[in-house]
């Protein structure tokens, strides 16, 4: 258990105690007001996100959570007032014990429901919010018991500009790693020379998609050619490449495979050195390069646990078929989607495309051979980006 789990347990105990004292009727109105306030706050955040520039960092999460807290407090206040009126109108003396027990159970259930809805949003925010949410025992148990949470807090995701991992949880859940036990290494095996070369060739990908800014990463594999994930640019009306060295370059889409989750971008004026795709079997270790949350470049060591051929749908949840997936031990965050897996020899071993919903140190990659096959289908003219994931 981590600090988030401890906080959730303490909150649950407080809710149980408060429910016992207040009773079922009073507490029911209180919780309904709380959830109603959160829902209204999420709608407000969605409207704000549609009209303003989004931010994708921990402070932005805190600002969004502040809006949620205000909505929750106001909703709870209204619900508590209504609950007091309702309790006064009902003769509870005949079933005090039953009313108290019902209030306690309602407090526990409501806490679990609230955590189930809120925690998935935290997993999409790079840095400590994602790390603590993904390593939460409570979050893992709730996800397994109740399944994916509904998008009632979609406004929070939109206010943070998160459009990468959140639409792909259905795909991650289809990956069976069998008896593999991925472990994320602590240190990168790459030399300084290889690291510097990979930094130069890795780019940030920003795609404007259906009023949401989708953030990902990519790598230059030949002059003016960048590969990334298809889910990063799905439905894009504009694609921009950048890095920490001041590069800003628009790009066009020339190939997309929604099942392999690979996209090929052309940027004719892109003056960035290319890295070769490996011709051999994937290296046993290396590092993943990418831009978590569209921020600064991050380097995450990885170890290869194995490769699996799995039956899964495409990025839209349709047309199931077989695909090859690399099972990696690594800790990555949203925004690293499409980032290259770099071997100690300086070759691109594949592209990162997701993380396991229930294991913070399990990541998934697309083998270099799959990337190469999509590259071979690139059109000389731009192609449609398809539908948005939302």
Query: Which of the 8 DSSP states describes residue 83?
Result: H
What is the predicted pLDDT for the residue at 166?
46
For residue 202, what are its two tokens? 């890795």
Look at the chain and count its residues: 390
The torsion angle over the Cα atoms of residues 130, 134, 138 and 140, rounded to 10 degrees, is 140
pLDDT for 340 beyond 80: yes
242 to each of 161, 250, 260, 363, how far by Cα in Å? 17, 9, 24, 24
93 to each of 83, 89, 90, 102, how far by Cα in Å? 16, 12, 9, 14
Measured between its terminal Cα atoms, the distance across the chain in Å is: 33
Q: Are 161 and 294 in contact (CB under 8 A)?
A: yes
Question: Which of 74-83, 191-200, 262-271 bottoms out in mean pLDDT, i.e. has the lowest?
Answer: 74-83
What is the predicted pLDDT for the residue at 342?
98
74 alpha-carbon distance from chain centroid: 29
For residue 26, what are its two tokens? 């009073």
More confident residue, 143 or 175: 175
For residue 84, what are its two tokens? 């007091």
Arithmetic mean of pLDDT, 36-60? 63
List of domains in the chain: 3-162 (no CATH), 192-375 (2.40.10.120)
Q: Are 344 and 191 in contact (CB under 8 A)?
A: yes
Q: What is the pLDDT of residues 289-308, one digit of tens each?
A: 998 877 789 999 999 999 99
Say which residues have a Cβ less than 8 Å from residue 261's Cβ, sequence separation at least 6.
171, 229, 230, 231, 314, 315, 353, 366
Confidence of residue 287 (pLDDT cuts 50, 70, 90): very high
């Amino acid at each position: 258990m981590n600090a988030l789990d401890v906080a959730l347990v303490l909150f649950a105990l407080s809710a149980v105690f408060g429910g016992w004292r207040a009773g079922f009727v009073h507490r029911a109105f209180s919780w309904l007001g709380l959830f109603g306030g959160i829902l209204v706050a999420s709608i407000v955040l969605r409207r704000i996100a549609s009209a303003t520039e989004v931010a994708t960092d921990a402070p932005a999460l805190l600002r969004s959570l502040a809006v949620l807290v205000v909505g929750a407090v106001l909703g709870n206040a209204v619900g508590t007032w209504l609950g007091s009126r309702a309790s006064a109108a009902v003769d509870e003396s005949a079933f005090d014990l039953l009313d108290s027990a019902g209030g306690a159970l309602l407090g526990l259930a409501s806490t679990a429901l609230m955590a189930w809805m809120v925690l998935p949003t935290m997993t999409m925010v790079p840095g400590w919010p994602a790390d603590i949410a993904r390593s939460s025992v409570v979050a893992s148990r709730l996800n397994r018991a109740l399944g994916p949470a509904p998008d009632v807090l979609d406004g929070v995701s939109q206010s943070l500009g998160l459009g990468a991992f959140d639409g792909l949880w259905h795909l991650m859940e289809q990956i069976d790693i069998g008896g593999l036990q991925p472990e994320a290494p602590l240190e990168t095996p790459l030399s300084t020379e290889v690291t510097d070369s990979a930094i130069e060739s890795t780019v940030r990908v920003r795609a404007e998609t259906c009023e949401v800014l989708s953030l990902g990463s990519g790598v230059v594999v030949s002059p003016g050619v960048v590969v990334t994930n298809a889910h990063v640019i799905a439905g894009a009306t504009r694609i921009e490449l950048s890095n920490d060295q001041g590069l800003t370059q628009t790009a066009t889409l020339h190939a997309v495979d929604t099942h392999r989750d690979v996209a090929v971008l052309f940027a004719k004026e892109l003056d960035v050195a290319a890295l070769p795709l490996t011709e051999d079997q994937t290296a046993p270790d290396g590092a993943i390069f990418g831009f978590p949350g569209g921020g600064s470049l991050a380097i995450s060591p990885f170890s290869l646990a194995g490769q699996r051929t799995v039956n899964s749908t495409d990025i839209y949840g349709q047309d199931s078929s077989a695909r090859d997936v690399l099972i990696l031990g690594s800790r990555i965050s949203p925004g690293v989607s499409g980032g290259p897996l770099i071997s100690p020899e300086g070759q691109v071993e594949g592209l990162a495309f997701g993380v396991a919903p229930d294991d913070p140190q399990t990541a998934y990659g697309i083998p270099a051979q799959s990337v190469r096959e999509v590259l071979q289908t690139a059109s000389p003219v731009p192609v449609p980006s398809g539908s948005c994931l939302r």
